[in-house]
């Protein structure tokens, strides 16, 4: 099987999966080609939500064959019409793939690409992160959305879901359950090669560098400081606690964004609480802060938090999490020990949840067995095997 994957642009979380898929396919005597609509993310670009220029510190095109259709587009795309599949029909004629996996449908180029493939009778599979709970919709907007998805999904022979809510969405919009595989959303495990002793050493050094008392319970927020993520809810919740309890806590804001000045002003009114603003950190800089923390908090609003990959990163580091119901992955991770799901925007519920995790034992391998199912290697293998089965039975 020659598999062609179409994706919008190189993404730091997806590239490791593509590398593993290339290895899986090569072992079977098969091929992988990843086609990107743009490569703006590896040229260095200004991220609108981080509010600064971004250049990832890891190679995103190594380990698998790739082609870029719009190499001259250097700006972050915005809107459905911003990326086209220039030259894709010619590429299909040249490469003659046996199967097409579409990795995103949010741009015009992806839709025209799958139509081109169907015209050539190439089986098409879908892998998107969409679910029906990420954004509130009512009335005619919900109806129109469902009709559009049913129309688009009718172009696909099968799908590979990223999680439970995504699978429900795919079934609800016309893809048969028997034609949906489950390969969870995943991130590379940056902690796997560290011994428990090394993790403890990194934890102690990082906390010391941040002037954090070893006895404080450290709460980590990792992500963009934007309204969607609602990072201010953490400080609102802690403000409800007595000063004596606030003095036993610390908050690490690992990220950047428009809300930082507001958060800094709020933190200044809480002298007993240790609050550190760490700014944007690149991929290889993240592990020490996850190891230094005791709990991960993701207090997102219902504004498109389809999964929340920082939850994966936290679990790989052994961190329990507190997340709102808006975070899609809580459906799949919510039954794990020492994790809590709270109502959206409920500072009182978050304050209660924080009190329950204060002083929690730091166990680096707490979720190791669970996260084996969410490794890039496992996910790549499931995708390849599923698509091969779909191909054989199409």
Residues 342 and 215 in one domain: yes
List pLDDT tens digits, range 155-208.
999 999 999 999 999 999 999 999 999 999 999 999 999 999 999 999 999 999
Residue 338 lies in a domain: yes
Are the CB atoms for 229 and 298 separated by under 8 Å?
yes
Mean pLDDT of 358-364: 94
List pLDDT tens digits, range 73-115.
777 888 888 889 999 999 999 999 999 999 999 999 999 999 9
- Mean pLDDT of all residues in the chain? 95
List pLDDT tens digits, range 202-236.
999 999 999 999 999 999 999 999 999 999 999 99
Residues 124 and 168 in one domain: yes
Mean pLDDT of 116-143: 93
| Position 118 pLDDT exceeds 90 | yes
List pLDDT tens digits, range 36-76.
999 988 887 677 777 777 777 789 999 999 999 988 777 78
Residues 116 and 219 in one domain: no
List pLDDT tens digits, range 376-386.
999 999 999 99
Q: Which two tokens stand for residue 337?
A: 């020990």
Q: What is the CATH number of the domain that holds 379?
A: 3.40.50.2000
Residue 386 lies in a domain: yes
Residues 322 and 380 in one domain: no
Residue 14 lies in a domain: yes
Residue 341 lies in a domain: yes
Mean pLDDT of 299-319: 97
Query: What pLDDT sits at residue 57?
Result: 77
Q: Quick check: helix, strand or coil at residue 228?
A: coil
- The C-alpha atoms of residue 262 and residue 275 are separated, in whole angstroms, by 13
Residues 339 and 234 in one domain: yes
Q: Quick check: helix, strand or coil at residue 305?
A: coil
Mean pLDDT of 9-23: 97
> Which contiguous run of DSSP H or E holds residue 156?
none
List pLDDT tens digits, range 243-280.
999 999 999 999 999 999 999 999 999 999 999 999 99
The beta strand positions in 103-216, using DSSP E, are 124-126, 158-161, 180-182
Are the CB atoms for 153 and 170 separated by under 8 Å?
yes
Residues 97 and 154 in one domain: yes
Q: Are strands 31-36 and 52-54 parallel, antiparallel or unpaired?
A: unpaired
Number of folded domains that form the chain: 2
Query: What pLDDT sits at residue 75?
Result: 78
Tell me which residue of 197, 283, 296 sits closest to 251, measured CA to CA. Answer: 296
Residue 366 lies in a domain: yes
Query: What pLDDT sits at residue 45?
Result: 66
Residue 191 lies in a domain: no
Query: What pLDDT sits at residue 304?
Result: 92
Residues 261 and 133 in one domain: no
Residue 7 lies in a domain: yes
Compute the 3-state secondary structure of the chain and give helix, strand, coil in percent, each to the nearest 5. 40, 15, 45
Segments forming the whole domain that contains residue 295:
196-371
Residues 270 and 360 in one domain: yes
| Position 299 pLDDT exceeds 80 | yes
Residues 69 and 119 in one domain: yes
- The C-alpha atoms of residue 290 and residue 199 are separated, in whole angstroms, by 10
pTM over 0.85: yes
- On the 0-12 / 13-18 / 19+ scale of CB atoms within 10 A, 112 is middle
The beta strand positions in the chain, using DSSP E, are 2-7, 31-36, 45-47, 52-54, 65-68, 99-102, 124-126, 158-161, 180-182, 217-222, 249-254, 274-277, 295-298, 321-324, 340-342
Are the CB atoms for 352 and 326 separated by under 8 Å?
no
Residues 312 and 176 in one domain: no
Residues 219 and 300 in one domain: yes
Residues 171 and 220 in one domain: no
- 262 pairs with which residues across the strands? none
């Amino acid at each position: 099987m020659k598999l062609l994957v179409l994706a919008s642009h190189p993404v730091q979380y997806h590239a490791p999966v593509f590398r593993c898929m290339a290895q899986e396919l090569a072992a079977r005597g098969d091929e992988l080609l990843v086609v990107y609509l743009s490569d703006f993310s590896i040229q260095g670009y200004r991220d609108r939500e981080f509010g600064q220029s971004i250049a990832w510190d890891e190679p995103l095109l190594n380990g698998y064959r790739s082609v870029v259709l719009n190499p001259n587009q250097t700006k972050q795309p915005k809107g459905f019409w911003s990326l086209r599949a220039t030259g894709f029909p010619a590429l299909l004629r040249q490469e003659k793939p046996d199967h097409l996996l579409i990795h995103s449908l949010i741009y015009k180029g992806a839709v025209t690409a799958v139509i081109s493939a169907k015209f050539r009778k190439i089986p098409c599979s879908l892998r998107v992160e969409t679910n029906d709970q990420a954004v509130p919709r009512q009335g005619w907007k919900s109806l129109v959305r469902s009709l559009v998805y049913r129309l688009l999904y009718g172009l696909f022979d099968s799908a590979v879901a990223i999680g439970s809510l995504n699978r429900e969405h795919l079934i609800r919009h016309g893809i048969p359950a028997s034609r949906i595989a489950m390969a969870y959303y995943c991130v590379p495990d940056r902690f796997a090669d560290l011994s428990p002793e090394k993790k403890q050493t990194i934890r102690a050094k990082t906390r010391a560098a941040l002037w954090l008392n070893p006895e404080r319970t450290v709460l980590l927020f990792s992500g963009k400081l934007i309204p969607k993520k609602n990072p201010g809810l953490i400080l609102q919740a802690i403000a409800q606690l007595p000063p004596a309890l606030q003095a036993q806590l610390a908050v690490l804001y690992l990220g950047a964004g428009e809300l930082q000045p507001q958060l800094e002003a709020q933190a200044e009114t809480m002298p007993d609480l240790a609050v550190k603003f760490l700014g944007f950190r690149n991929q290889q800089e993240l592990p020490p802060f996850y190891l230094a923390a005791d709990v991960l908090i993701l207090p997102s609003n219902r504004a498109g938090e389809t999964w929340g990959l920082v939850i994966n990163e936290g679990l790989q580091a052994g961190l329990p999490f507190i997340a709102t119901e808006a975070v899609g992955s809580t459906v799949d991770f919510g039954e794990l020990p020492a994790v809590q799901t709270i109502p959206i925007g409920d500072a009182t519920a978050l304050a209660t949840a924080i009190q329950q995790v204060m002083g929690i034992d730091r166990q680096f391998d707490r979720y190791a067995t669970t996260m084996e199912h969410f490794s890039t290697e496992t996910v790549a293998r499931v995708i390849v095997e599923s698509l091969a089965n779909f191909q054989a039975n199409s």
